[in-house]
C-alpha cells in the first residue's frame, strides 16, 4: 500500500478471529467470528486516519489491537518500524506512554471519585518520576492548552459539562506528550454546538504537537473535516481507502456511496443520489465467500460469486484504493 517513510503505525494484513464455542466443560469450536479479516493501512505522523463503517464492522477491534489491549490473531502492527508483538517490557512501557485514547462517552471515561488534577496526572504518575510540583505545573499547563483554568484542577468531574469533560479527557491523553491518539467517536456524545469547539481544539493540538490521530466516527462531516486518510470498512475488511477528497468526491465502492447517501447533506435543498442497500449485514461468523459485499451489491455479477476476480485492493488513482471486485461494478 501507499507506504511512506513518514508512517508512525504500519498495519499489515491484520486479523482478529474470535472462536465461537459450545458447551461449558468440553468446549467444541462451532465457528469463528472474523471481526477483522486482513486489513492493512498506515498512519502517518501528524495526520488523521479515520475509520468509517457501520456498527460491528471491526473499527473498535482495530483500535483495541493498536492500543495493545487485545492481541491480533494474525498480521503485524509496527510502531515506528518495530513489531509490536516483539516489544520488550521497556519498549512496551514506552509505547504505552506515547499512545493515548479518548473515548466517546465523557461521563464514563472520567473516574467520578478522582479530582481533575489526579485524572490528568494519572498517565504522568504511571510512566514518569515527577515531583508533586512538576505534576502540578504540568496539569495547570495542560488545562490551559485545552482552554480551561488551573482552578478547575481541584474539582470533581460531575461539576463539569460534557464539553468540558471531553476537554479534560483530552488533557489527560496529552499529559505524556503522546505521538498517537486514538479517538473513538470523540464528539458524538457532545452537544452539536460544542462539537466544533472540540474538533477545532483537536486540530490545533495536532498542528502544535505533530500528533497522529486514529479516529472512529459515524458523522461523515466530522470525518471529512478532520481526516487526511479515510478507510471505509465493511465486515472486517477495508473496502475503500483514500484521502477524504477522493472518498467523498469520487466514491468508487457501492458501499461507500450508500454510506454517503445515507448521511444528511450539508444543505437541505441540496439534491442527493439516493442509494439504499437492500438486506442486512451478513453474520461475520459465516461471511459470503469471495467478495464479502456481493450479497448486498446493487449489481452483482457471476464473477463476484465464483471468485474469478482477484481479491484485495487496487489503486484507482494515486492514493485511492478500492476493493478490486467492486471497483469496476458501478
Partner 1 sequence: MTSLNFEPIQLTRGQSIRKWIKDYNPPWIALTILTVLLFCGFFANFLVGDPMTNDLKARQIPPFTDWSHIFGTDILGKDMTARLVFGCRSVLLVTAPSIIVALLIGTTVGLLAGYARGWVDSVLMRITDATLGFPSILVAMLIVTFVGTGYTGVIIAVTATTWARFARMIRGEVLSVRERDFVVLAGILGVSPVMIMWRHLMPNVINTLMVMISLMIGQVILLEASLSFLGIGMSPGEPAWGIMVAEGRQQLLTTWWVSLFPGILITLVVMAFNFFGDWLRDYLDPRLRRAR
Q: Under the criterion CB under 8 A, does residue 73 sit at the interface with partner 1?
A: no
Q: Under the criterion CB under 8 A, does residue 123 sit at the interface with partner 1?
A: yes
203-to-4, 137, 226, 330 alpha-carbon distances in Å: 22, 24, 7, 35
Binding mask 12-51 for partner 1 (x = CB under 8 A): ----------------------------------------
Q: Under the criterion CB under 8 A, does residue 79 sit at the interface with partner 1?
A: no
Q: Under the criterion CB under 8 A, does residue 113 sit at the interface with partner 1?
A: yes
Q: Under the criterion CB under 8 A, does residue 161 sit at the interface with partner 1?
A: no
Spatial distance between the Cα atoms of 226 and 47, rounded to a whole number of angstroms: 9
Nearer to partner 1, 70 or 303 (CB): 70
Q: What angle (nearest 5°) sits at the alpha carbon of residue 49, between those of residues 43 and 51? A: 120
Task: Give the position of cell 508483538.
Answer: 85
Q: Each residue of 283-313: b (16+ CB within 10 Å) or e?
A: ebeebbebbbbbbbbeebeeebeeeebeeeb
How buried is 282 (Cβ within 10 angstroms: 0-12 exposed, 13-18 middle, 19+ buried)? middle
Q: Under the criterion CB under 8 A, does residue 317 sit at the interface with partner 1?
A: no
281-to-17, 51, 208 alpha-carbon distances in Å: 18, 18, 41
CB of 41 to partner 1, least distance (A): 20
Q: Under the criterion CB under 8 A, does residue 98 sit at the interface with partner 1?
A: no
Contact 237, 288 (CB under 8 A): no
CB of 281 to partner 1, least distance (A): 25
CB of 127 to partner 1, least distance (A): 7
Q: Under the criterion CB under 8 A, does residue 110 sit at the interface with partner 1?
A: yes
Nearer to partner 1, 111 or 200 (CB): 111
Q: Under the criterion CB under 8 A, does residue 67 sit at the interface with partner 1?
A: yes
| Other beta carbons within 10 Å of 139 | 24
CB of 102 to partner 1, least distance (A): 9
Q: Under the criterion CB under 8 A, does residue 111 sit at the interface with partner 1?
A: yes
User: Strands, DSSP E only, in the chain?
Assistant: 7-22, 28-44, 48-52, 74-79, 82-83, 99-102, 180-184, 212-216, 229-234, 237-242, 313-317, 320-323
Nearer to partner 1, 103 or 248 (CB): 103
Q: Under the criterion CB under 8 A, does residue 128 sit at the interface with partner 1?
A: no
147 sits in the region (left: phi over 0; alpha: psi -120 to 50; else beta) called left
CB of 223 to partner 1, least distance (A): 22
Q: Under the criterion CB under 8 A, does residue 275 sit at the interface with partner 1?
A: no
Q: Which residues bind partner 1 (CB under 8 A)?
A: 67-69, 92-93, 96-97, 100-101, 103, 105, 108-114, 122-123, 126-127
Amino acid at each position: 500500500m501507499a507506504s511512506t517513510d513518514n508512517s508512525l503505525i504500519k498495519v499489515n494484513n491484520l486479523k482478529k478471529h474470535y472462536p465461537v464455542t459450545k458447551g461449558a466443560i468440553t468446549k467444541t469450536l462451532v465457528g469463528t467470528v472474523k471481526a477483522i479479516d486482513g486489513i492493512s493501512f498506515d498512519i502517518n505522523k501528524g495526520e488523521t486516519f479515520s475509520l468509517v463503517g457501520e456498527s460491528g464492522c471491526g473499527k473498535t477491534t482495530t483500535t483495541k489491537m493498536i492500543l495493545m489491549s487485545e492481541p491480533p490473531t494474525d498480521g503485524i502492527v509496527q510502531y515506528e518500524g518495530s513489531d509490536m508483538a516483539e516489544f520488550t517490557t521497556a519498549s512496551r512501557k514506552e509505547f504505552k506512554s506515547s499512545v493515548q485514547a479518548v473515548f466517546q462517552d465523557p461521563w464514563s471515561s472520567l473516574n467520578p471519585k478522582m479530582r481533575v488534577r489526579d485524572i490528568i496526572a494519572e498517565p504522568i504518575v504511571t510512566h514518569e518520576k515527577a515531583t508533586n510540583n512538576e505534576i502540578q505545573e504540568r496539569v495547570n499547563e495542560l488545562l490551559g492548552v485545552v482552554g480551561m483554568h488551573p482552578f478547575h484542577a481541584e474539582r470533581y468531574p460531575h461539576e463539569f459539562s460534557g464539553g468540558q469533560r471531553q476537554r479534560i479527557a483530552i488533557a489527560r491523553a496529552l499529559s505524556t506528550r503522546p505521538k498517537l491518539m486514538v479517538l473513538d467517536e470523540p464528539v458524538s456524545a457532545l452537544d452539536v454546538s460544542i462539537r466544533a469547539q472540540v474538533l477545532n481544539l483537536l486540530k490545533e493540538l495536532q498542528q502544535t504537537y505533530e500528533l497522529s490521530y486514529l479516529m472512529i466516527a459515524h458523522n461523515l462531516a466530522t470525518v471529512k473535516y478532520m481526516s487526511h486518510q479515510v478507510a471505509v470498512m465493511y465486515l472486517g475488511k477495508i473496502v475503500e481507502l483514500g484521502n477524504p477528497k477522493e472518498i467523498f468526491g469520487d466514491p468508487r465502492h457501492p458501499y461507500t456511496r450508500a454510506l454517503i447517501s445515507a448521511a444528511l447533506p450539508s444543505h437541505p435543498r441540496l439534491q442527493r443520489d439516493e442509494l439504499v442497500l437492500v438486506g442486512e449485514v451478513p453474520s461475520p461468523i459465516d461471511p459470503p465467500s469471495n467478495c464479502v459485499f456481493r450479497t448486498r451489491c446493487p449489481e452483482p455479477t457471476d464473477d463476484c460469486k465464483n471468485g474469478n476476480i482477484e481479491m484485495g485492493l487496487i489503486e484507482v488513482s494515486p492514493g485511492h484504493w478500492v476493493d478490486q471486485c467492486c471497483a469496476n461494478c458501478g
